[in-house]
């Protein structure tokens, strides 16, 4: 079976060397040397400052909300954050988990990112933040979102889980917002098995978050803040350092697959429209079909022939009961019902790409 994604496994010998070092030092977690090294290397690679490694991308979001004062322990407040319904569930469930009501605003039908026009309409006196997603690595309209946030005194936290390495107007897209969060889950473009990071705009927010992610403990006998445990360990960092070394080849292989799909499919299927001001990381290849029926039929046809495709992102989060949406978001629902992501990963062989495309094209013409 050709899966829709496969975790990237770096050279084993290299990983073993890092693990030997961990055994020698007997330092397994709590801001160890490999976590420090990976922090520095990622800041360099991505072109950012104030990067904080954490244990996963969901806690990255939660800690960003806390450090920026969006979620609070004050029970009299009923904070709200405006976010997109077209994303992985963690974007919105992490808000709800933190006691912040996710208020959905609809997406742009072409870019599939939060539409700034709909953000302003969703603002209430309780709104404290905007949580947009650079979905599939596509840059949101960051200038327009900044302007709305400034005008209304709101924080902006970008869920940038898909935007690793994406540049916008010549610099890292992660520099936008009060914070941008990353996921380093095994299935993501860059991974540490499980892991994540927050890139803060301001150093003082980074410092607050550092305390929060380690129980609020600030010294041998000092507890300064209410905290949680979100520490990355040395084994995660070792994997990250190895994967980072091989990023260029990894990207090259994905770009080949991506461009081949684009060449073959852009005439017949709806693809995501990207800003001219950005580059792309080839993390996903989503396509939108004419109808849900067609998308489901293709899924079946491909599955019968050993190829899996996935409905990312489905269902649209305004349909998920536990998230408590106030109103339906028709554009997101519509795209979510017709979208499929095709297999993209570094070790996807040429004949596998070929057969995936052939199956898809045949199924389309039936
Ligand atoms: C993967 C993902 C997350 C969650 O990250 P984890 O590291 O799995 O906790 C959050 N948001 C988006 C958009 C994601 O794709």
Ligand 1 pocket test, pick from 161, 181, 228 with the greatest ligand atom count within 8 Å of Cβ, gives 161
Alpha carbon of 261 to ligand 1 centroid (Å): 25
Tell me the domain boundaries of the chain.
12-244, 246-365
Of the ranges 28-32, 107-111, 222-226, 285-289, which one carries the lowest mean pLDDT score? 222-226
Residue 76 has pLDDT above 90, yes or no: no
Phi-psi region of 229 (alpha: psi -120 to 50; beta: other; left: phi over 0): beta
Alpha carbon of 149 to ligand 1 centroid (Å): 24
Task: Give pLDDT tens digits for 334-348.
Answer: 999 999 999 999 999
Peptide bond into 41 cis (omega under 30): no
Q: Which one of 188, 201, 211, 333 is the catalytic residue?
A: 188
Helices 292-304 and 330-338: angle between axes, nearest 10 degrees: 30
Please tell me the residue having the least CA distance from ligand 1 atom 6.
57
Ligand 1 atom at minimum distance from 90 CA: 10
Q: What is the DSSP-derived secondary structure letter of residue 55? A: S
Task: Give pLDDT tens digits for 141-196.
Answer: 999 999 999 999 999 999 999 999 999 999 999 999 999 999 999 999 999 999 99
Ligand 1 atom at minimum distance from 188 CA: 1
Model confidence pTM above 0.85: yes
pLDDT band at residue 355 using 50, 70 and 90 as cut-offs = very high
Residue 73 has pLDDT above 90, yes or no: no
Residue 75 has pLDDT above 80, yes or no: no
Mean pLDDT of all residues belonging to the chain: 96
Per-residue pLDDT averaged across 101-129, rounded?
Answer: 98
Task: Give pLDDT tens digits for 79-99.
Answer: 999 999 999 999 999 999 999
Alpha carbon of 131 to ligand 1 centroid (Å): 13
pLDDT band at residue 103 using 50, 70 and 90 as cut-offs = very high
Alpha carbon of 354 to ligand 1 centroid (Å): 30
pLDDT of the residue at 37:
98
Q: CATH number of 12-244: 3.30.160.100, 3.40.50.620, 3.40.640.10, 1.10.3720.10?
A: 3.40.640.10
Query: Token pair of 155, please?
Result: 């924080």
CA-wise closest residue to 163 among 130, 129, 199, 118: 199
Residue 46 has pLDDT above 80, yes or no: yes
Strands in 89-209 per DSSP E: 101-104, 127-131, 155-159, 167-168, 171-172, 179-183, 196-200
pLDDT above 70 covers a percentage of the chain that reads 100
Alpha carbon of 36 to ligand 1 centroid (Å): 23
Peptide bond into 315 cis (omega under 30): yes
Ligand 1 atom at minimum distance from 59 CA: 9
Residue 188 a catalytic site member: yes
pLDDT of the residue at 334:
98
Ligand 1 pocket test, pick from 183, 191, 286 with the greatest ligand atom count within 8 Å of Cβ, gives 183
pLDDT band at residue 68 using 50, 70 and 90 as cut-offs = very high
Residues with CB under 6 A from ligand 1: 56-58, 87-88, 90-91, 133, 159, 161-162, 183, 185, 196
Domain 246-365 has CATH 3.90.1150.10: yes
Alpha carbon of 88 to ligand 1 centroid (Å): 7
Please tell me the residue having the least CA distance from ligand 1 atom 5.
57
Ligand 1 atom at minimum distance from 184 CA: 7
Per-residue pLDDT averaged across 200-210, rounded?
Answer: 98
Using CA atoms, how far apart are residues 110 and 198, in angstroms rounded to an integer? 28
Per-residue pLDDT averaged across 292-313, rounded?
Answer: 96
pLDDT band at residue 366 using 50, 70 and 90 as cut-offs = confident
Which runs of consecutive H residues, i.e. helices, occur in 215-342? 234-245, 247-265, 292-304, 330-338
Query: Token pair of 88, please?
Result: 């992985």
pLDDT band at residue 74 using 50, 70 and 90 as cut-offs = confident
Ligand 1 atom at minimum distance from 194 CA: 7
pLDDT of the residue at 206:
98
Per-residue pLDDT averaged across 191-213, rounded?
Answer: 98
Ligand 1 pocket test, pick from 64, 88, 92, 316 with the greatest ligand atom count within 8 Å of Cβ, gives 88
pLDDT of the residue at 16:
98
Residues ≥6 apart with Cβ < 8 Å to 76: none
Instruction: Say which residue, 365 or 52, is predicted with more confidence.
Output: 52
């Amino acid at each position: 079976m050709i899966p829709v994604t496969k975790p990237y496994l770096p050279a084993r010998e290299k990983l073993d060397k890092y693990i030997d070092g961990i055994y020698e030092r007997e330092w397994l977690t709590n801001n160890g040397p490999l976590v420090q090294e990976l922090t520095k290397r990622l800041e360099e690679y991505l072109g950012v400052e104030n990067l904080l490694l954490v244990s996963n991308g969901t806690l990255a979001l939660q800690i960003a909300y806390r450090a920026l004062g969006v979620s609070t322990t004050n029970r009299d407040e009923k904070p709200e954050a405006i976010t997109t319904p077209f994303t992985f569930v963690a974007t919105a469930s992490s808000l709800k988990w933190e006691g912040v009501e996710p208020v959905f605003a609809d997406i742009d039908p072409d870019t599939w990112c939060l539409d700034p026009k709909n953000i302003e309409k969703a603002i209430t006196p309780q709104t404290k933040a905007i949580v947009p997603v650079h979905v599939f690595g596509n840059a949101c309209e960051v200038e327009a979102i900044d302007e709305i946030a400034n005008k209304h005194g709101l924080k902006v936290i970008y869920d940038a889980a898909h935007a690793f390495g994406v540049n916008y107007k010549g610099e890292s897209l992660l520099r936008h917002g009060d914070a941008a969060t990353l996921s380093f889950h095994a299935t993501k473009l860059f991974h540490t098995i499980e892991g994540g990071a927050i890139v803060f705009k301001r150093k003082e927010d980074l410092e607050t978050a550092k305390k929060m992610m380690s129980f609020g403990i600030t010294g041998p006998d000092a507890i300064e803040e209410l905290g949680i445990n979100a520490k990355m360990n040395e084994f995660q960092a070792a994997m990250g350092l190895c994967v980072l070394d091989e990023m260029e080849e990894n990207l090259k292989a994905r770009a080949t697959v991506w461009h081949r799909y684009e060449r073959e499919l852009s005439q017949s299927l709806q693809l995501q429209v990207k800003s001219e001001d950005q580059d792309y990381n080839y993390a996903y290849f989503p396509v939108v079909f004419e109808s849900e029926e067609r998308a489901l039929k293709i899924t079946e046809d491909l599955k019968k022939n050993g190829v899996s495709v996935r409905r990312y992102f489905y269902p649209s989060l305004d349909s998920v009961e536990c998230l408590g949406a106030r109103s339906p978001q028709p554009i997101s629902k519509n795209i979510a019902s017709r979208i499929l992501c095709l297999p993209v990963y570094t070790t996807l062989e040429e004949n596998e790409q070929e057969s995936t495309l052939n199956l898809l094209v045949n199924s389309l013409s039936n």
